[in-house]
Amino acid sequence: MKKYIYLHPFLFAVYPALFLYAQNQNLFRENVLALPLLLSLTLTGIIYSLSLLILKEKNISALICLAFIFIFFSYSRIKEFFKEIQHPDQVIIAGIFLFLIILIYFLLRYKNLLKTINKALSFFSLILLSLAIISIASFEVKSGRILLSLGSTGNNPETSQSARRTPDIYYFVLDRYAGEKTLKQYGFDNSSFYEFLARSGFYIATDSTSNYPKTFLSLGSTLNMEYLNYLTEKTNGGGTSDESFVTPLVANNKIIKFLKKKGYSYIHVGSGWDPTRSNKNAEVNFVMTGGRYLFKDEFLSGFLQTTLAAPILKKIYPDPTAVSQNPKNNDHRSRVLYEFEALNQIPEIPGPKFVFAHILAPHDPYVLGEYCEGLSEKVVAKRGWIENYLNQLRCTNQKTMAAIEKILAHSRSKPVIIIQADEGPMPMKYPVPFDLAWKKASDDTLREKFPILNAYLLPGLKDNPVYPSITPVNSFRIVFNAYFDTSYLLLPDKNYVFEDKDSYYKFIDVTERLKTSQ
């Protein structure tokens, strides 16, 4: 036992990575732990060896090493106390060296207590580590992800066999992607993108419009295959700006419930919008959690952001894409690019699977140029809103085409893919009246807002069930009828606005106005 009492720095060193993983386990798989654990153990080994070489005392070296490891992995928390100070990194690093010198002095002075302290710390570190491992194992068992990694999604052979005969289903929501009619108003020819989709087997619903003019209403409706007008009564006449009546419907929607019963696993590609950032119902979440200035591995990057390595790495490897003054703009850019990169990994995940990706592009802020280069606020300010929107849309086209090619090339069988906007762009030629007063919107404003991109790849069907004017509320009714022999009736394709930003659930039917204004 004597030789094991000096292992506690190594046990404490692996705990931060395990703790971070346990806290974000729904976002990552266990393979992300390998490199953080290796780096943590290597660093600890180096610090312990140097301490032993200099001080010649195992009792002292183990405690000095533990102190350094604690400080190293607590850096982000320490920095919180100094966030109001200029140049906090320099102050913290200087303070760390001073603390370690004082610590060495006291350890040398009270040597007789060190063995007992090392023993106690060893036992404590084992308990701490055990709790983290139990938490991780418990989640893996409850979530069923172990079965997923083995290529199985359940124990019901009939369900599994049925699911194998059905395709993977991808649902891309490209936020505020305008339909062809709106893009023509902006003088933009999107034919090359449409031609790519057609060559890939997609049907493009050329007259499609959104059911609602705001994301939370649109997704709440589409993902539950129904209109949300019943919420008017549930919100005391609809006079509220509270979105929380709908956002639970986005996370716990009918589509996920239906497909899980059919043996599908759920893969979630998270956006920067809270209701779709991650999903607890997903077997796998792809979510950008940290800076990406050096590593594409999001867990590793997020892990390093919490350590003393963060300020050092930022100095050595500045993020070349962080060209915006506003950190939120840099985050928006990184997140959009990350989501498209994540889509490349999904075809290799054992199926059958339902993939939901909510990508906030070409939605503003405008941070990407037509070739997906990063744009600063200064560059964006020199251009008009429509020009910036179209450049970000061009980038979105490039990334979407690359993702589709990857998915089709690496899928075991041809998948169902829906590429759809939740809403059109915020009107730029005919702006919405102040405070989102849609009740006062002109026909021109409606005509600019409501047309959306809506394209379907539905393999293996003799007859195409999709039609030019289909709206999102009917998308999954058609898919489920076609592939699962359900008998959902198609709903009338309607368009609704809400009165204003204080009356989200006071709906006004504008369907006929859109028809007459086309």
Tokens for 405?
Answer: 């090619």
What's the rounded mean pLDDT across residues 180-197?
97
DSSP code of residue 422: S
Q: What tokens appear for 307 in the block?
A: 């350590």
> Is 90 exceeded by the pLDDT of residue 438?
yes
User: CA 511, CA 518: separation in Å to the nearest integer?
Assistant: 11
Q: Exposed, middle or buried, 242 (CB in 10 Å: 0-12/13-18/19+)? A: exposed
Confidence at residue 269, expressed as pLDDT on a 0 to 100 scale: 96
Q: pLDDT class for 88, splitting at 50, 70, 90? A: low
pLDDT (0 to 100) of residue 147:
52
- C-alpha 414/C-alpha 423 separation (Å) is 28
d(CA 77, CA 80): 5
pLDDT at 26: 64
CB 334 within 8 A of CB 288: yes
Residue 83: its pLDDT value, please? Answer: 59
Q: pLDDT tens across 242-269, in order?
A: 999 998 999 999 999 999 999 999 999 9
**CA atoms of 360 and 384, how far apart (whole Å):** 20
Assigned superfamily of 162-517 = Alkaline Phosphatase, subunit A (3.40.720.10)
pLDDT for 78: 77
DSSP string, 495-512: -EEESSTT-TT-EEE-HH
* pLDDT value of position 156: 39
Q: Of 512 and 290, which is predicted with more confidence? A: 512
For the residues 157-170, what does the mean pLDDT come to? 60
Instruction: Please state the rounded mean pLDDT for residues 28-50.
Output: 89
How far is residue 329's CA from residue 335's CA, in Å, rounded to a whole number? 10
Residue 80 confidence (pLDDT) above 60: yes
Q: How many whole angstroms separate alpha carbon 253 and alpha carbon 394?
A: 31
Q: What is the pLDDT of residue 312?
A: 78
* 297 confidence band (pLDDT: 50, 70, 90): low
Q: What is the pLDDT of residue 146?
A: 56
Q: What is the pLDDT of residue 158?
A: 36
Q: Where in the chain is the domain with CATH 3.40.720.10?
A: 162-517
pLDDT given at position 465: 96
| CA distance linking residue 127 with residue 121, whole number of Å | 10
367, 375 Cβ separation under 8 angstroms: yes
Q: How confident is the model at residue 86 (pLDDT cuts 50, 70, 90)?
A: low
Residue from 362, 359, 422 nearest 389 by CA: 362
Instruction: Give the pLDDT of residue 152.
Output: 41
- In degrees rounded to 5, what are phi and psi of residue 374? -70, 140
Mean pLDDT score across all residues of the chain = 87
Over residues 484-488, mean pLDDT? 95
Cα–Cα dist 52/46, whole Å? 10
Which one-letter amino acid corresponds to residue 230? Y
Output the six-digit token pair for 468.
């030019």
pLDDT of amino acid 457: 98
Q: Quote the percentage of the chain above a pLDDT of 90.
A: 60
Residue recorded with tokens 């009492």: 5
pLDDT band (50, 70, 90) for residue 305:
confident
- What's residue 151's pLDDT? 45
SS3 at position 24: coil
Query: Mean pLDDT throughout 173-202?
Result: 97
How far CA 275 is from CA of 249, 252, 268, 278, 392, in Å, comes to 9, 10, 12, 7, 23
User: What digits encode the pLDDT tens for the residues 117-157?
Assistant: 888 888 899 998 999 999 888 877 776 555 544 444 333 33
Percent of the chain topping pLDDT 70: 88
Letter string b/e over residues 21-33, b meaning 16 or more CB atoms within 10 A of that residue's CB: bbebbbbbbeebb
Q: Taking the C-alpha atoms of 406, 408, 411 and 412 in order, what is their torsion angle to the nearest 10 degrees?
A: -150
Q: Higher-confidence residue: 290 or 421?
A: 421
Which residues, including other chains, have CB under 8 Å from residue 83's CB and lie 6 or more apart? Answer: none
Q: Using omega within 30 degrees of 0 as the cis cutoff, is the peptide bond preceding 365 cis?
A: yes
Residue-level pLDDT at 163 = 38
Res. 62: pLDDT tops 70: yes
Dig out the tokens for 166 from the structure: 């059905």
Pairing mode, strands 203-204 and 454-457: antiparallel
